[in-house]
Amino acid sequence: MRVTLRSPLVLFKKGRYKVIKEQHQINEAIRDKEVRLIGQEGEQLGIISAAEAQRIADEAGLDLVKIQPNAQPPVCKILDYGKYKYDMLKREKEQKKNQKVVEIKEIWLSMTIDIGDLNVKAKQTVKFLAGGNKVKVSIRLRGRQNAHSNLGLDVMVKFFEMLEGKAVMDKKPGLEGRTIIMVLSPAKANETSKK
């Protein structure tokens, strides 16, 4: 008879450990009367009792794993559960590695900003966009500037023009409370060639 561990799987990495909860019922934990059985090569073995399925798995020296518990009857597969878990963790790690995280960087301008400072901010924004990040451009209105928010919108438009097609406006400049906000994202290669 095959012995299975009832405790959760534990991974050790550089002095830390991570407990992984069992996601599937395996071997004797399967309490259904009948199951649809899939063999180790992927062949359909039909609907049989759970005890018979367990006997077939034991004869093959493998585990009986419930892979679709919500189906009627539940679907079980004969496989090496340790190898299956390892492959799942490896696939999950590969997906995380290929995932790209987009950050939102923020650039603050003012209504009275000089052209030199605006150039510096534009260069910094181009660096952020080249790194694949989105950029939130903000202008805080203070005092009497609230009455002349259209001047702040002009500064935003001028700033966007300085980026020379390296950015696309996700959100057009608009007033939110006492702040004018514009959100930019990197321009794709085909969009810049059209302009």
The C-alpha atoms of residue 78 and residue 73 are separated, in whole angstroms, by: 16
Both 171 and 190 in one domain: the answer is yes
- For residue 17, the enclosing domain spans 9-98
* Mean per-residue pLDDT, 127-138: 90
Q: How far is residue 65 CA from its own chain's centroid?
A: 28
- Residue 72, both tokens: 């009627």
**Domain harbouring 155, CATH code:** 3.30.110.10
Residues 56 and 113 in one domain: no
Q: How many domains does the chain have?
A: 2
Is the domain of 140 the same as that of 77? no
Nearest in space to 181 (alpha carbons), one of 140, 127, 145: 140
Report CA-CA distances (Å) from 1 to 6, 58, 106, 191: 15, 7, 62, 64
Name the band, by pLDDT with cuts 50, 70 and 90, for residue 181. very high
CB 149 within 8 A of CB 185: no
Answer yes or no: is pLDDT of 17 > 70. no
Mean pLDDT computed over 152-181: 88
Collapsing DSSP to helix, strand or coil, 14 comes out as: coil
Same domain, 57 and 121: no
**122 lies in the same domain as 186:** yes
- pLDDT recorded at residue 27: 78
Average pLDDT, integer, range 90-96: 86
pLDDT (tens digit per residue) in 57-66: 888 888 888 8
Among residues 50, 77, 98, which one ends one of the domains? Answer: 98
Co-location of 118 and 185 in the same domain = yes
Residue 2 lies in a domain: no
Residue after which a domain boundary falls, among 66, 98, 130: 98
Please report which confidence band the pLDDT of residue 4 belongs to, taking 50, 70 and 90 as the band edges.
Answer: very low
CATH of the domain at 25: 3.10.20.80
Asked whether residue 122 is domain-assigned, the answer is yes
